[in-house]
Amino acid sequence: MLPLSANPDFSNITNTKVVNPYYDINGEKIATQIDVYGTDALDQAIEMVLCTEPYERLFNLSLSSPLYQVLFQNSTDIDTIMSSIFDQIEFWVPVVIDRDNAEVENLVAEHALRFKIPYVSSNGRFAHTFNRIIGK
């Protein structure tokens, strides 16, 4: 794992490989041969922000997403909180989201949400679409 001083604010976003011999966001062991860099690293950071519950990070209580309300409350309208979710992503991850083309679909049968969030990295090097299904 990189020391915090190596890239604490994601300001150095390049295609340089960073070996991660620890566990991924799903708790699965990552082999030492798997590298996370570029848009994969940004996608992982976006997913981390989306999946972090309020007050889950004890040393950084403001790191969270209001997505928790949508996944665990029956009567929450996703459209009303999408702006605040995008604000949190842009605050914590160095990306600019194309909000006009972003899509969020409620998959009721799977108790999940499908995200298609186009973004450009803050330095303009990467343009990519975050495409994930996140559920309970």
Phi, psi of 135 (to 5 degrees): -140, -170
Asked whether the whole model's pTM tops 0.75, one would answer: no
CATH number at residue 104: 3.10.450.40
Q: Report if residue 31 sits inside a domain.
A: no
Question: Distance from CA of residue 93 to its chain's centroid?
Answer: 8
User: Domains in the chain: how many in total?
Assistant: 1
Q: Report if residue 6 sits inside a domain.
A: no
| Domain limits for position 45 | 39-135
Question: Distance from CA of residue 124 to its chain's centroid?
Answer: 18
State what percent of residues in the chain have pLDDT above 90.
Answer: 20
| 25-66 pLDDT, tens digit each | 555 655 555 566 788 889 988 998 888 887 777 777 777 787
Q: Report if residue 9 sits inside a domain.
A: no
Q: Report if residue 5 sits inside a domain.
A: no
Q: Report if residue 93 sits inside a domain.
A: yes
Burial class (CB in 10 A: 0-12, 13-18, 19+), 101: exposed
Q: Report if residue 105 sits inside a domain.
A: yes
